[in-house]
Structures are given as structure tokens and as C-alpha cells.
């Protein structure tokens, strides 16, 4: 029985009791992502707080809220994402995203940095199941997208 | 083929022909393959036929005058005759494509090509005011090409709904299929619900108003005796890989006089009459629709698959699957929290059982099953609108074939229960 | 791979991998296969790879969450990466089609689909006043689809001529490729003349006027080292069956940003973003262009063919064929009454030698050769306008590959002489 | 050496010295056929003489002339055709055509009726070579076509 390598207790906990679920106002940008193979969806909102005058990579991720429909892996990963990213700067968040993406593509051979990924290290087992990687990444892609939109909107506004 | 009790086939004898069914998955679990609706496994006989072609007779067909080219051409055309006979058709009415999807697109693009051509093709022409009718239970392969045809030509797409029981809702047929209708495209058997549609009835209505009828038989030709004459339709399409045959080959059957009148889709070598720099003319069907060096080894493999199924007997295949479907409907639907999407009775219904498990996402159900060696499909099965119709995002689907037995269904049932226990939604017993 | 004298490959060692080359034809004549330009033979390694996929890993790719589906998907995508690397491309730029012909049609139909779509696709749009440029030496597969695209859109087809020596006539290039030109499509290597065209030079001119460039590499990728970046083109197409791979698989390579912007051709399952009854959106490339269950086993077989060729080394393959071409040009052209159609020198020329024999129709030449076990192709080789250009109806064509030797060419020469004797046109010696 | 089974002496004779080659006037109808795989062509003219008032199957094939480009088999078969059909009635000619077509499709197992086919029995060997059958039939298909046209034109004229 290998099930436990994928469904770590941490994952099942986040799945059963998701953090920060439910869309909140106000927000800078929203993005809606769908996994075309299974139809799972996430709508995710990002609120950024500028560090200095401009909204850039130094801005703080003030809030992330989401609504979603999907499997345990996609639900848990959205929940873990909010815990990890809220309070970090955008640049730091992108680093976490890169680390998480690398872990997901590691085919089970990744050595996750627990200092960076915290609870998200529990997803190491998922990387052995290629069909589930998209589930784990769904909310992360939506966060990347919404964050990019937030920064772009700000730029447009400024120009 | 020897039969055991209950109208079932001798599954052990059949399984001996499928090397892959002997393998184990996930740390030594025997494979229980319940995903034949996506693609079937292939018997030794099919793989041997294809290899024999490559190792003894390989050459470009219809293009050479040497002995290998003669043998390859003969193998290819003999395969066409075998496959045609399998569906009660004439060999010159069978066009090889790479899969069902290409076959549907062939007809859809031929119709848009007709839209920019002369009066002689008016039968295939489509424009604003004209209508194409599909159903809400179509596989994307028999939906998106028609959306695109309508987009290109300005015609309107309309569709039959589906009842709560998972049957085609024919109540509005007289309104839906009318004088503006140019084509009706529908599945013979749904790849999600298992529903076998009353194709003949729909075709009769369509013909009464002068519309053409295309049947997506990707899920019926592998599982039921299909006779194109008896169905009374104009075009019928299916894939080799779902009926014990190789990947990379599919079939468009079309009525002789329609194929003769229809403009080509993919153009290039071997489908031409004469070629000048500034214009070309076309060969007769089926060549007109088979541009380029074809998949001759795959055609030979598919003919071997037809021979394999014919040796069992398609009526016997259908009876076997009927017994499996009854057994599965009984035991799967009986589980607490399990909802079968599709007809509850096995009549006019194929061996495909899709379901949801309360409180567990299909992906997670599939994962637990996979962990136990049971291979099913999860998701929308390329029938997204149908899932939306039932208010769900995805289902878990088990689909059966000649090599499946009651024991496989028992493994499925135990797997669903294991998933319920694992995710803590096991009903109190 | 061991080499013998003269820059030749160790043909005996290679031939041992090709079971079919051991067979005899026509009452026991050893087979001399000189028709690789039509289709190549397949080494054991390719057939084994394909069979291993079917017997161990077969499932529908990108559609399941069970272990077989994972393995099948992995096999398919690993094959894509191998094939991409073989032509110096990124894996996400490689689209699988059934053959070269479909790949050309894919681009041609995507361009007509763009013509009925919104402004964002204007780059691919074509209409009256626009021009598409081809050459007089094209295979029908790279000519007829463009004729049809022009017919559908109202654009104009123009073409490069061919010199008496069988080279592309570039003298009018500045007039021919101009601001109205939307696309230039040309063969990398002619399947009749053997001519290797100056693709880079043509592409530079085309890009200067903003036109796209598609290269038909069906006859070059199997025989020469091809690097898509070095060629400086936008699209490149080829077939598996001509390069030791299986039938039923071909490749469209396209520049990343072009594929990303291009609308789909064949629509259906697995190429979609979302699907509603009345509209759909598309997946990213390469999936956008691969509707339906793909030919995964054939992709795995083609990757094995790339591995086989890479193990020999494409530079070595080219050197071997160059030596064969020099030998063949010398000995065939030296025969009285024989006229080689195509460059007399082996520079910028592949291992395809087409010729006429005075007083004997190519069909009859081919028949005498076949009677002696020598398999060649006769006819217009799907390049009818090119034959017209040279004032002939047909030629006899010998084409060589890694498993051919000088001895095979000797057999060809003796066969031609035998034909001359048989038909009483033998020149007095 | 099996070459002689295809290239019978009779065939080579007709090929070297074709009968009735060269287009002649007057004629009722002409037809042009091409073999799309090799580009070989034949242009063939038919002149019919009515038996009674109407031009029908009882009419006599008064003349067949042709021009052609092609291999030995297609040339010889055109020549043999003219010998066989000139002077026969259209109905008789069609019977010969049927017999010849059947022979061509016999894969080398035909037992040709020499009374009907005369010199054309020499083509029995060609039927073993599928790629050459079209060559042997090219002129015959053109004759069938031109004859049908002749009869149709007459009907149109009469109505
Ligand atoms: C130069 C060239 N282009 C295109 C093709 C078409 O290839 P396919 O028939 O595999 O589509 C061929 C071979 O037939 C060819 O030689
Ligand atoms: C009902 C139905 N139609 C069409 C298809 C498409 O078949 P293919 O992917 O082989 O083109 C399928 C299977 O995927 C199907 O089940």
C-alpha cells in the first residue's frame, strides 16, 4: 500500500479543514484556472501591499483567498499555499513557487527544502504520480497569474 | 470460443492472448484493466499480424510496381475488405483515417470545403440559416468539429438534451430536426452513460427532412454487432485502438454515392486524378480521402482484430458484456454513497459504468483503485457538457471488454469501499 | 558503428537488423531494396520498441490516472523529447501527425481557419491579393494543400521554376517573394531530383518581406543532419516511415511563438481548454494540434528509429549516401541511352537517382528490375508537374539508405542493361 | 526468369508495331483517360454505324483510332483492342470487354476464352502483376467511355 506516500496526514488535514477558503474583498486581481483533463477549478484573489511607492516584487502578499472545486490534492495545495505566501514579499513568494514547482517535477526524487516549503514538503509523494502534478500546481499557477495581473494593473494605472 | 456459465465468454482463454494482462502494477498488484473505453488492450494475434507485415511485406502501398509493393497493397486492400465486412459495408465505402476524431473532422471539413465550391456540391453546403444537430452526451470528438464547422460557415448548432435517466430526450425531435437541418451527428453508444441511442429512429426523422446523419460508433463497433445498412445512416466512424486493434487507425464509412460526391479533406499524394501547378483533380473514393503514405501495417492489424472478434462472435461479445453490466450495475449502485450516472438498467446500455462517490473526488477514488491495481478512468471523459448537465465536474468510469470477468467487478467494488474507508466517508454498516 | 573503406558504413552489420532484407522475391531472387524514398524498412529495434509499448505499457495517454496511463504518457512524451532533440528542437515545438501530408495540411487549414477568425490571428490570414509561393519540384503533398488554401481564401499561388540541371531557379526570387507573399513552402530535398535546396537563402528573403517559411523535410531528415535553428525556417515537416520508423506517424515542427498563436486544425478530445455546448477554447501547443487518442506506440517506435540513426551518426549516414550517390551517378549515367533527371554532381544532392531509358517506358524498366529482385519506383513519384517540366511522363527512381551498398547499385546497372537487351534497345558495344 | 509470362511475343509485337494508332476522322465521340499513378494517357475515338434507325447496342463499331503515351502493356492492349472490336457490334464488344476485364482480375488464374479474346489471351500473365492491370485496361476503359458517349449523343440528338 503506497497510498500514504501521496496522501500524507498533512495533506488530508488541509483537505478536510482548508485554510483561507472563501473569496474575500478587497483584492487587486483575481484569476480563474481550470484543469482541462478533469474539470477541476480554482478562483483565486490576491491582495498586495506596496513596500515603497510602487507595487513591485518587494510588495507584501497581504491576502490570498480562493474558492475551488477539486480533489484532495488540489484543495490541500491551495490551503497550504495561502499559509505559506500570506505575509511574504512577492519575490519571496515566487521563490517558494519555484521550489514547489521543482519538487513537483522531481518524479519522487526531490529533496525539498523544509525551511522554504514548510507544510508543502508533504507533496513530495505526489510528484511520483504525473497525472496528479497538475492538481497540486493548479492553485499555484492561479496565484502566479493573479499576482502578475496585480502588478500589471498597477503599472497601467501608473502610466 | 468456449463459454462458461451465465452466457459469459471463457475469459481465461481470452486473457492468455493478451500479454499485458499478466503484468502487475504498484508493488506487485495484479492488473485489473477496466479502462477499455479509453483504449483496449491488444491480443498477440494483432501484434503478430502487424509485425509480419513489417518484416515480410513492407512497402509503400499503391505506389510501386515491385513485388513488395504488390504484397503491401494486397495486404492493405484485403484488410479494408475484412474491416468493411465486419460492419456490413462494401470495401469501397471504407476510408482509413488515424482515429475517430479525424474521421469526424473529415466530414466536417469536406462540408466547409463544399461551402466554397460550386453548385454540384450543394448537398454538402452549409451557411447562415442552416442547422447542425448534435446531442448533449457527445464526446468532444463529435461536438467540437461541428461547433467549428458552424463557426466557419455561419450555420447554427443545436442539440438534443439528455434525461435524468441518461437517455436521449427525443421529445422535441420534430422541432429540433427540421427543414433547416443539414446534418445530425450523434453517438451510437455514450462513452460515459453507456446509453445505446435509438439511431435508426433519429435517422428516419433526419432523412425525412433531407438531413445527413453521422453516427459516432467509437463505443459501439467494438462491443455490439453493427451493420451499417441496418442502422440507416449516412456516415459512421470508429477507432481501431478501442476494438483490440492498433493505435493510429480509424475508419470513416460513408454511403457510396455520398463519398463519390464529397470533396476531399486532406490533400496530397495518392488522392489525385491529375496535378498541374495551378490545379488538380481528385481520385475516386476511398483513395480521394487517403492522402499520403497510409498506415498499412495498422490496417492489417485492425483486420486481425476484426478476425479475432469475429471468431468470438460479436453477439457473444455483446452477451458477455451485458452480463458484466448487469452485475456491475447491481453491485456498484448498491454501495452507499455511490451514484451511477447513466441508465440503471442494462437494456440498450453498454458495458460502461460511470459513478460518483459521495464525499470523495473521482481523482481520489481513482487513486485508491489504482493503488489496488484497478485501472479506471477519472475526469469528464471528453464529455464535459454531459457532466455539466448532471451538475458534476467529473466521474469515475469503469469500462469492460472481452477479457473482463465478474472477479474484476468484485475488485472494483472492494476498491470503492476501500476508498470510502480511507477518506473516512465509509457508511456505517 | 564500424566503417569499411570509402567512408561507407558497415552495411552487413546494419542489414542484420532488418529481417525483411533477408527475404527473396520472384522465385528466389535476393531482395535489392532501392525504394527507401517511398518508404524505408524498419530495424528490429524499432519493431521491438513498439511491441514493448503494447505488451507492457499500453493505455490512452494524457487521459488516465492509473499506472499504465502514466507509463504510456511518459513513453509518449519521452519519445517527443527524443525526436525533438534529433532535429535540434524543443519538445514543446513538436506536434505529432500521421504523416508529412497531414502536417502540411495542418498549417494550410490553420491558415484558412485564421481567415474566418478575429484580428488576433491576422498573421496567419490570407485573402485575395495575398500570395503563397511553392516550387515546381514539390511533391504533391507540398503543392495541392496550398492550391486548396488559395482556392478557399482567394489568394494566389506562385512558384519557383527548376533549371535544366534540376536546381531551383532563384533568378526571379525578388519578384516572386514580395510584400504580398504570406508563405513560402519548399522541399528541403527533392524526392525525384535528389536536389538539396538552399533553404536558408530562400528563408532569409521570405523573412525580409514578412512571409512564413515551411520546409518539407520528408526526404532530408532521414538522410542528413537537420537542425531547425540552423535552417532559419518557421515550420518543418517529415514522416516517420521514411526514416526507419513506423507508419502512421509524422511530425510538424513549428517555432514556439507561431504554434502558440496558431488556431487548431483537427478538433476533438484532448486539445481543448474548456468545452461548452456552444463554444470551446484550446489547450496550449503541442496538445492543441493533437486531437483524439494519439499514435503513442508509433511515437515510441519513431524515437527508437532516431536513436538507431543517432547511434550510427547522421553525418556518417550522409557520408555513406554521398558515396553511394557518386557511385550511382557515375555508373548509371554512363549507360548508353540513360538520362539522369537531376543534378549530375553529388554536391548538394541526396541519394535519389531518377532516370529514363531511351526506348523503354519506366514501367517496363521497373518490371525487368523487379524480375531480378531489384525494387525501384516507377511513375511520376507524386511530382507530376516536375516531370512535365522535363517533358517526360515518368521516370524510374532508385533511392538509397543506410542498408544499401555498391553491390546494390551494380545490380541496378545490370538490371538496366538487361532491360535494354530484353526490349531490343541495347546499344551496340 | 518470369518476364516472359508477362511479355508474351504477341504483346511485344503489338507494342513494336501497333495497329490503328493515330487519330482518325470522322468519329462519334472521343475520350481521354489517364492513369493517375504513372501519368500514362490514351485518347481514343469511336465511330459507330447504326444497324437500323437508332444508334444502340446493335450498332457496328466501324472504327476505333487512338493516340497514346505509355508502357508496352498499355500500348499493346490498345492495339489488340482495335483489332478485336472493329467490325463487331457494340453489344459484342461489351462482351469482349467483360471477358477481358475478368481475365485481368483473375490474379493469374483465369482461363481465357480464346474464341472471344483472340490475341488478348496473351495478357493472361499480366493479371499476376496487380500494378500493371490498370495499364492493360486503360484503352478498354477509354473505349467503354467513348462508346457510351457516342450512344448518349445520338439519343440527345434524337430527342
Ligand atoms: C518530398 C516529400 N514530401 C512529402 C511526402 C509525403 O509523405 P507522406 O506520404 O508520408 O505524407 C513525400 C513522400 O511521399 C516526399 O518524398
Ligand atoms: C464516443 C467516442 N467518440 C469519439 C472518441 C474519440 O476517439 P479517438 O480518440 O480514437 O479519435 C471516443 C474515444 O475517445 C469515444 O468514446
- Give the single-character DSSP code of C216: E
Owning domain of residue A133: 1-152
Between A156 and B101, where is the model more confident?
A: B101
pLDDT at residue C315 is higher than 50: yes
Is A34 in CB contact (< 8 Å) with chain C?
yes
Say what the pLDDT of residue B120 is: 76
Q: Is residue D157 situated within a structural domain? A: no
Report chain A residues whose CB lies below 8 A from the CB of B387.
39
CA-closest candidate to residue C239, choices C93, C98, C383: C98
Best mutation target, A6, A18, A39, to test chain B (most B CBs within 10 A): A39
Say what the pLDDT of residue C1 is: 38
| Residue pair A21/A87 in contact by the 8 Å Cβ criterion | no
Query: In C26-173, which ranges are E strands?
Result: 29-30, 32-33, 94-97, 131-135, 156-160
- Give the single-character DSSP code of C263: P
Q: Whose CA is nearest to atom 7 of ligand 2?
A: B100
Q: Hey, how many other C-beta atoms are within 10 angstroms of the C-beta on C183? A: 24
Query: In chain A, which residue's Cα lies nearest the Cα of C288?
Result: A36
* Distance from the first to the final alpha carbon of chain C: 42
How many domains, chain D? 1
Of the candidates B21, B340, B382, B409, the residue annotated as catalytic is B382
Confidence of residue D110 (pLDDT cuts 50, 70, 90): confident
Nearest to B298 among C35, C248, C366 (CB): C248
Q: Is residue A158 situated within a structural domain? A: no
My answer on whether omega of the bond before C413 falls inside 30° of 0, hence cis, is no
Residue D101 grid coordinates: 476485364
Q: Is residue D23 situated within a structural domain? A: yes
Residue B403 grid coordinates: 477479457
pLDDT at residue C125 is higher than 90: yes
Residue ranges per structural domain of chain C: 11-36+314-423, 49-310
Q: Is B306 a catalytic residue?
A: no
Report chain D residues whose CB lies below 8 A from the CB of C364.
71-73
C366-415 pLDDT, tens digit per residue, is: 999 999 999 999 999 999 999 999 999 999 999 999 999 999 999 999 99
Instruction: Report the distance separating Cα C39 and Cα C32, nearest Å.
Output: 14
B11-36+314-423 CATH: 3.90.1150.10
Angle among Cα C79, C82, C87 to the nearest 5 degrees reads 130
| Residue pair A72/A40 in contact by the 8 Å Cβ criterion | no
pLDDT at residue C419 is higher than 60: yes
Give residues with Cβ within 8 angstroms of A74, minimum separation 6. A35, A40, A42, A68, A135, A136, A138, A139
Instruction: Report the distance separating Cα D122 and Cα D144, nearest Å.
Output: 21
Percent pLDDT > 90 in chain D is 82
Average pLDDT over residues C41-65: 94
pLDDT at residue B340 is higher than 90: yes
pLDDT at residue B81 is higher than 80: yes
Of the candidates C382, C383, C413, C419, the residue annotated as catalytic is C382
Say what the pLDDT of residue B118 is: 74
Chain center to CA of B225: 14
Provide the edge-to-edge strand list for the sheet that holds B131-135: B94-97, B250-254, B235-239, B212-216, B181-187, B131-135, B156-160
**Nearest ligand 2 atom, CA B99:** 11
State how beta strands C352-357 and B395-399 pair. Answer: unpaired
Is B283 in CB contact (< 8 Å) with chain D?
yes
pLDDT at residue B344 is higher than 60: yes
Best mutation target, D2, D5, D32, D36, to test chain B (most B CBs within 10 A): D36
Please work out whether the CB of residue B216 comes within 6 Å of at least one atom of ligand 2: yes
Instruction: Report the distance separating Cα C424 and Cα D83, nearest Å.
Output: 25
A11-48 pLDDT, tens digit per residue, is: 999 999 999 999 999 999 999 999 988 889 999 999 99
Q: How many CA atoms lie within 13 A of C279 on its CB side?
A: 2
Return the best residue to mutate from B144, B382, B383, B397 for the ligand 2 pocket (most ligand atoms within 8 A of CB).
B382
My answer on whether omega of the bond before A26 falls inside 30° of 0, hence cis, is yes
Please work out whether the CB of residue C383 comes within 6 Å of at least one atom of ligand 1: no
Q: Is C409 helix (H, G, I), strand (E, B) or coil?
A: helix
- Give the single-character DSSP code of B2: -
pLDDT at residue B65 is higher than 90: no
Nearest to D72 among C27, C361, C371 (CB): C361
pLDDT at residue D158 is higher than 90: no
Query: In chain A, which residue's Cα lies nearest the Cα of C77?
Result: A130
Q: Could you report the predicted ipTM of this complex, rounded to two decimals?
A: 0.95
Instruction: Report the distance separating Cα B386 and Cα B166, nearest Å.
Output: 9
B109-168 pLDDT, tens digit per residue, is: 999 999 877 777 888 999 999 999 999 999 999 999 999 999 999 999 999 999 999 999
pLDDT at residue C39 is higher than 60: yes
Say what the pLDDT of residue B295 is: 97
Chain center to CA of C17: 23
> Distance, in angstroms, between B94 CA and closest chain D CA?
21
Contact across the interface for D131 and B73, Cβ inside 8 Å:
yes
Contact across the interface for A37 and C62, Cβ inside 8 Å:
yes
Report chain B residues whose CB lies below 8 A from the CB of D34.
273-274
**Nearest ligand 1 atom, CA C103:** 11
Confidence of residue C117 (pLDDT cuts 50, 70, 90): confident
Is B74 in CB contact (< 8 Å) with chain D?
yes
Q: Is C132 helix (H, G, I), strand (E, B) or coil?
A: strand
**Nearest ligand 2 atom, CA B98:** 11
Between A159 and D91, where is the model more confident?
A: D91
Instruction: Report the distance separating Cα B190 and Cα C122, nearest Å.
Output: 39
Report chain B residues whose CB lies below 8 A from the CB of C374.
66
A44-73 pLDDT, tens digit per residue, is: 999 999 988 889 999 999 999 999 999 999
Query: In chain A, which residue's Cα lies nearest the Cα of C269?
Result: A37
Return the best residue to mutate from C39, C98, C100 for the ligand 1 pocket (most ligand atoms within 8 A of CB).
C100
Beta bridge partners of D43: D32, D67
Backbone angles phi, psi at B241, to 5 degrees: -70, -15
C331-369 pLDDT, tens digit per residue, is: 999 999 999 999 999 999 999 999 999 999 999 999 999
Please work out whether the CB of residue B219 comes within 6 Å of at least one atom of ligand 2: yes
> Distance, in angstroms, between C268 CA and closest chain B CA?
4
Percent pLDDT > 70 in chain B is 98
Helix axes D130-158, D90-104, angle to 10 degrees: 160
pLDDT at residue B3 is higher than 50: no
B49-310 CATH: 3.40.640.10
Least confident among B147-151, C5-9, C148-152, C170-174: C5-9
**Nearest ligand 2 atom, CA B241:** 10
Burial class (CB in 10 A: 0-12, 13-18, 19+), A22: exposed
Average pLDDT over residues C40-45: 98
Instruction: Report the distance separating Cα C355 and Cα C340, nearest Å.
Output: 4
Q: Whose CA is nearest to atom 15 of ligand 1?
A: C218
- DSSP per-residue letters across B33-81: E-BTTT-----HHHHHHHHHIIIII-S-TTS--SHHHHHHHHHHHHHHH
Residue B129 grid coordinates: 440559416
CA-closest candidate to residue C321, choices C218, C215, C219, C187: C219
Say what the pLDDT of residue D2 is: 83
| Residue pair A71/A135 in contact by the 8 Å Cβ criterion | yes
- Restricting to B residues 257-276, those with a Cβ less than 8 Å away from any Cβ of D are 272-274
State how beta strands D29-34 and D41-49 pair. Answer: antiparallel
Percent pLDDT > 90 in chain C is 94
Contact across the interface for B371 and A1, Cβ inside 8 Å:
yes
Is C248 in CB contact (< 8 Å) with chain D?
no
Angle among Cα C233, C238, C241 to the nearest 5 degrees reads 165
Confidence of residue B71 (pLDDT cuts 50, 70, 90): very high
Percent pLDDT > 90 in chain B is 94
Average pLDDT over residues C219-227: 98
pTM of the model: 0.96
Say what the pLDDT of residue D116 is: 94
pLDDT at residue B4 is higher than 70: no
Please work out whether the CB of residue C64 comes within 6 Å of at least one atom of ligand 2: no
Q: What is the mean pLDDT of chain A?
A: 93
Residue B234 CA, ligand 1 centroid: distance in Å: 32
Ligand nearest to the CA of B134: 2
pLDDT at residue B327 is higher than 70: yes
Say what the pLDDT of residue B427 is: 64
pLDDT at residue C124 is higher than 80: yes
Instruction: Report the distance separating Cα C57 and Cα C52, nearest Å.
Output: 7
Confidence of residue D157 (pLDDT cuts 50, 70, 90): low
Contact across the interface for C145 and B267, Cβ inside 8 Å:
yes
* Distance from the first to the final alpha carbon of chain B: 42
pLDDT at residue B290 is higher than 70: yes
Query: In B188-246, which ranges are E strands?
Result: 212-216, 235-239
Q: What is the CATH number of the domain that holds D100?
A: 3.90.1010.10
Say what the pLDDT of residue C188 is: 98
Confidence of residue C3 (pLDDT cuts 50, 70, 90): very low
Instruction: Report the distance separating Cα C302 and Cα C100, nearest Å.
Output: 14
Is A69 in CB contact (< 8 Å) with chain B?
yes
pLDDT at residue C99 is higher than 70: yes
Q: What is the mean pLDDT of chain B?
A: 95
pLDDT at residue B404 is higher than 80: yes
Average pLDDT over residues C115-144: 91
Say what the pLDDT of residue C427 is: 64
Nearest to A39 among B364, B394, B423 (CB): B394
Say what the pLDDT of residue A153 is: 78
Say what the pLDDT of residue B305 is: 98
Are chains D and A touching, using the cut-off of 8 Å on CB pairs and a minimum of 3 such pairs? no
pLDDT at residue B428 is higher than 60: no
Angle among Cα C243, C245, C250 to the nearest 5 degrees reads 80
> Distance, in angstroms, between B315 CA and closest chain C CA?
26
Count of A-B CB contacts under 8 Å: 48
Amino acid at each position: 500500500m503506497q497510498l500514504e506516500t501521496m496522501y500524507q496526514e498533512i495533506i488530508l488535514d488541509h483537505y478536510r479543514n482548508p485554510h483561507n477558503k472563501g473569496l474575500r474583498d478587497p483584492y487587486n486581481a483575481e484569476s480563474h484556472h481550470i484543469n482541462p483533463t478533469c474539470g477541476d477549478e480554482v478562483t483565486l484573489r490576491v491582495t498586495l501591499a506596496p513596500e515603497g511607492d510602487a507595487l513591485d516584487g518587494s510588495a507584501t502578499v497581504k491576502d490570498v483567498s480562493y474558492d475551488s472545486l477539486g480533489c484532495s490534492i488540489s484543495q490541500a495545495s491551495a490551503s497550504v499555499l495561502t499559509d505559506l505566501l500570506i505575509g511574504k514579499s512577492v519575490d519571496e513568494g515566487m521563490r517558494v513557487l519555484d521550489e514547489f514547482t521543482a519538487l513537483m517535477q522531481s518524479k519522487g526524487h526531490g529533496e525539498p527544502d523544509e525551511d522554504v516549503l514548510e507544510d508543502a514538503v508533504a507533496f513530495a509523494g505526489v510528484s511520483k504520480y504525473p497525472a496528479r502534478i497538475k492538481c497540486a500546481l493548479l492553485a499555484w499557477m492561479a496565484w502566479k497569474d493573479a499576482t502578475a495581473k496585480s502588478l500589471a494593473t498597477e503599472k497601467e494605472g501608473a502610466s | 470460443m468456449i463459454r462458461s456459465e451465465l452466457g459469459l465468454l471463457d475469459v481465461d482463454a481470452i486473457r492468455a492472448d493478451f500479454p499485458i494482462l499478466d503484468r502487475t502494477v504498484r508493488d506487485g498488484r495484479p492488473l485489473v484493466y477496466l479502462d477499455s473505453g479509453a483504449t483496449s488492450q491488444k491480443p498477440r494475434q494483432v501484434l503478430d499480424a502487424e509485425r509480419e507485415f513489417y518484416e515480410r511485406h513492407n512497402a509503400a502501398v499503391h505506389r510501386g510496381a515491385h513485388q513488395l509493393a504488390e504484397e503491401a497493397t494486397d495486404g492493405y486492400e484485403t484488410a479494408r475488405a475484412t474491416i468493411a465486412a465486419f460492419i456490413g459495408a462494401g470495401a469501397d465505402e471504407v476510408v482509413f483515417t488515424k482515429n475517430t476524431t479525424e474521421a469526424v473532422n473529415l466530414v466536417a471539413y469536406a462540408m466547409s470545403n463544399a461551402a466554397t465550391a460550386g453548385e454540384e456540391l450543394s448537398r454538402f453546403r452549409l451557411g447562415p440559416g442552416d442547422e447542425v444537430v448534435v446531442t448533449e452526451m457527445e464526446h468532444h470528438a463529435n461536438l467540437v468539429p461541428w461547433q467549428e464547422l458552424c463557426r466557419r460557415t455561419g450555420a447554427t448548432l443545436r442539440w438534443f438534451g439528455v434525461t435524468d435517466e441518461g437517455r436521449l430526450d427525443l421529445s422535441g425531435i420534430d422541432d429540433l430536426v427540421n427543414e433547416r437541418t443539414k446534418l445530425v451527428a450523434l453517438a451510437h453508444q455514450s462513452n460515459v452513460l453507456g446509453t445505446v441511442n435509438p439511431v435508426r429512429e433519429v435517422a428516419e426523422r433526419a432523412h425525412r427532412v433531407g438531413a445527413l446523419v453521422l453516427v459516432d460508433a467509437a463505443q459501439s463497433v467494438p462491443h455490439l454487432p453493427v451493420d451499417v445498412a441496418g442502422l440507416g445512416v449516412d456516415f459512421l466512424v470508429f477507432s481501431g485502438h478501442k476494438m483490440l486493434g492498433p493505435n493510429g487507425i480509424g475508419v470513416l464509412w460513408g454511403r457510396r454515392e455520398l463519398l463519390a460526391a464529397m470533396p476531399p479533406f486532406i490533400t496530397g499524394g495518392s488522392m489525385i486524378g491529375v496535378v498541374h501547378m495551378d490545379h488538380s483533380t481528385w481520385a475516386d473514393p476511398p483513395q480521394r480521402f487517403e492522402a499520403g503514405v497510409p498506415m498499412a501495417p495498422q490496417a492489417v492489424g485492425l483486420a486481425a482484430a476484426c478476425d479475432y472478434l469475429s471468431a468470438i462472435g460479436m453477439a457473444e461479445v455483446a452477451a458477455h458484456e451485458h452480463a458484466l453490466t448487469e452485475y456491475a450495475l447491481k453491485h456498484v449502485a448498491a454501495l452507499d454513497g455511490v451514484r451511477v450516472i447513466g441508465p440503471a438498467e442494462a437494456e440498450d446500455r453498454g458495458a460502461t459504468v460511470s459513478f460518483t462517490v459521495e464525499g470523495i473526488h473521482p481523482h481520489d477514488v481513482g487513486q485508491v483503485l489504482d493503488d489496488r491495481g484497478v485501472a479506471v478512468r477519472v475526469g469528464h471523459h471528453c464529455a464535459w457538457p454531459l457532466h455539466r448537465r448532471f451538475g458534476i465536474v467529473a466521474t469515475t468510469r469503469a469500462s469492460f471488454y472481452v477479457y473482463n470477468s465478474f472477479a474484476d467487478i468484485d475488485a472494483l467494488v472492494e476498491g470503492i469501499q476501500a476508498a470510502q474507508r480511507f477518506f473516512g466517508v465509509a457508511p456505517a454498516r
